[in-house]
Each structure stands twice: as C-alpha cells, then as structure tokens.
Amino acid sequence: MLRSSLLTLTRIGSNRLMSTAAKLTTVEVNDKTGIATLTMCRPPVNGLNLELLKDLSQSIDEIESNKSRGLILTSSNPTIFSAGLDILEMYKPDKERIRAFWTSLQDVWLALYGSSVPTAAAINGHSPAGGCLLATSCEYRVMLPKFTIGLNETQLGIVAPKWFMSSFLSVLPRRIAERALNQGRMFTTEEALQVGLIDEVANTKEEAIEKCSAFIGSFAKVNPLARALTKQQFRAADLQQLENERVQDLEKFLFFVNQPAVQKGLGLYLESLKKKAKN
C-alpha cells in the first residue's frame, strides 16, 4: 500500500492521491503507468522553506520506497514552478532553524539527484535559483513557454554551492554553465531549449506531464536495476562529494549568509520583490 503514517490517500479516477497533512506537496500515482507526480503547493511562489523541503524529502522517499516507475516534479501554481529558496529563511535567520533549513536542502538534493527511479520536471512556471536546482536534479525537463529558468545567485550577491553547479553541469556544457553562473543568467524557455537546459517545450501543464511520462516510459524495456545503477554511477562522484563535505558545506553556508554585506543584499532584494509585488 502506497502510504506512510503521515500520509492520507484518496482515489481520483485511476489515480491514487497521497498528500501530506500540511499539504505543501501532493503525490499522485497514476495506476496505469505507475508514475508518481509530485506537486509543490506552497503559496504564493513555492518558496523553498524548511517545511516545504521536509515535505519534498518525505515525498521523494515515499516514491522511492513504493517502487513507483518514475517521478515527475511539478507545481500547483500556474505561473511559478518554484521561486527558489525562501529568502526569509536566510534573512535575519534563526540560528537553529537555518541549520535545519540548509541540511534539509542538502537532503532533498541528495534524494532527488541520486534517486533510483527515473525523474522528470514538468516546469510549468518560472524556475529561478533553487527552482532551477530542483529541475536540473531531474533527468529530463519539459517547460512551458514564456517563463524563465536559471541560477541567478550572483545577481543576488550570493554564490551557488558546488553541488548546485554539479546539477547544472550534468545538463549543460561546461562553458555555457560557467558563463551563465557567473552572469547569474536567467534563460527564457526558448533560450533554455536552445542551450539544452531543458529538453522539450509543451503548451500546457498536461502536455508537459505527458511528455515527462513518455520520457519515463522510454525505460520500460530496460532492466530497472541496471538503469538505476548506471544512473547512480554517472552521479556518484557529485553525490559523494556532498556526502563527504556536508558539515563543511553547512558551516560555509552559515558563515557566508551571516556576513553583514550578504544580509544587507538579501534585505534589499526582499524589499525590491515586495515593491514590485505592490506595483
């Protein structure tokens, strides 16, 4: 039975819907294909805060242990896949909470990038920074037109850690990845397709999910264990590097984020977002 004690399970047509009590994510398993759709639903912008990250971890673990045939990551917001890390977690942070926050982000990345099941992202909205990290941790990306995706950290005066770069580099040629990261470049859907940051464009979320399902279905005749071990061998060095350096990575993040100049930059950026929202 596809559920844990923290999950409720409902049936919608041929799909089983599992959702966490807090409902920051839902997991819907298609009974015909066996593919799980993991949907982020944290209004207003799917900002990755501690609770959403914990939910994501739990849902990925569920999908992994329930032997779903694949995982499709998407958003319930019609214009935003994820706005990336919730800046409020990093601005004037609480000492204990920010440790748990960063550790949970590491957990999500390790689980998603290292997942044994085929993964795809149906990017149905903007996907900056941490949103791009989630999308590039998947094996395949289908995006809707007129949105943007990229690692814009340098634009915010912050530095993407090595493992963000690993995900980016698993998708893009090194020269393009390096330049885009240095510039903090956000790509339009069309540009992302051109450089290979995404694999396909779809006109609707449903079409994006179909295309992701078709990608996952392309492994139907491949031995699942051989496929999973092959994927993990490709990703082993990146995963091992973070496993080995988890504590140092956390300390580096804490040191960096607590620098007065970084706090000032984050404050100004938050203000500019709020001003933009008011206009």
Ligand X SMILES: CCCCCCCC/C=C\CC(=O)SCCNC(=O)CCNC(=O)[C@H](O)C(C)(C)COP(=O)(O)OP(=O)(O)OC[C@H]1O[C@@H](n2cnc3c(N)ncnc32)[C@H](O)[C@@H]1OP(=O)(O)O
Work out how close the CB of 79 gets to ligand X at its nearest, in angstroms, rounded to a whole number. Answer: 6
113-152 footprint of ligand X as x/- string (CB under 6 A): -------------x-xxx---------------------x
- 5 or 279: whose CB is closer to ligand X? 279
Kindly identify the residues of this chain, within the stretch 208-267, that bind ligand X according to CB under 6 A. 252-253, 256-257
Could you list the active site residues? 85, 130, 152-153
Sheet holding 70-75, edge to edge: 7-12, 15-20, 25-30, 35-40, 70-75, 119-123, 140-143, 200-201
Candidate residues 161, 180, 197, 211; the one interacting with ligand X per rule CB under 6 A: 161
The total of other beta-carbon atoms located within 10 Å of residue 242's CB is 18
- 16 or 54: whose CB is closer to ligand X? 54
CA dist 268 and 279 (Å) reads 17
Work out how close the CB of 129 gets to ligand X at its nearest, in angstroms, rounded to a whole number. Answer: 3
The total of other beta-carbon atoms located within 10 Å of residue 89's CB is 21
Kindly identify the residues of this chain, within the stretch 73-102, that bind ligand X according to CB under 6 A. 79-80, 83-88
Residues whose CB is less than 8 angstroms from the CB of residue 15 and which lie 6 or more positions away in sequence, other chains included: 28, 29, 30, 31
- 70 or 150: whose CB is closer to ligand X? 150
- 172 or 186: whose CB is closer to ligand X? 186
Kindly identify the residues of this chain, within the stretch 36-55, that bind ligand X according to CB under 6 A. 44-45, 47
Tokens in use for 183? 């510039």
Main-chain dihedrals φ then ψ at residue 259, nearest 5 degrees: -65, 135
Sheet holding 127-128, edge to edge: 127-128, 148-150, 187-188
Q: Which residues bind ligand X (CB under 6 A)?
A: 44-45, 47, 79-80, 83-88, 126, 128-130, 152-153, 156, 158-161, 252-253, 256-257, 273-274, 276-277
